[in-house]
């Protein structure tokens, strides 16, 4: 299936979850936030939240600084 990840097309397995997406595209899940179709997905729900073809996913990593 194809989803839009941070505005770019990404190919995933048909039954992919948010947890699998994060594992594939982030060095570490620490400090990562994910929204699917403009709805924040709590980290505790990542393993059960299956993605669908055409979903729009935003994955953000918290940054330190000042």
- Supply the pLDDT for residue 3: 98
Distance CA 20, CA 48 (A): 10
Tell whether the model's pLDDT for residue 12 goes beyond 80.
yes
pLDDT digits (tens, 9 = 90+) for 18-66: 999 999 999 999 999 999 999 999 999 999 999 999 999 999 998 876 6
Q: How far is CA 45 from the centre of its chain?
A: 11
- Supply the pLDDT for residue 66: 61
Does an H or E element contain 9, and which? strand 8-11
* Domains (range + CATH), the chain: 2-61 (3.10.20.30)
Distance CA 3, CA 1 (A): 7
């Amino acid at each position: 299936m194809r989803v839009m990840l941070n505005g770019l097309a990404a190919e995933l397995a048909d039954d992919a979850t948010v947890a699998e997406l994060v594992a594939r595209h982030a060095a570490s899940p620490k400090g990562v936030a994910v929204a699917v179709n403009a709805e924040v997905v709590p980290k505790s729900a990542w393993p059960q939240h299956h993605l669908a073809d055409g979903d729009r996913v935003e994955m953000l990593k918290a940054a330190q600084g000042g």
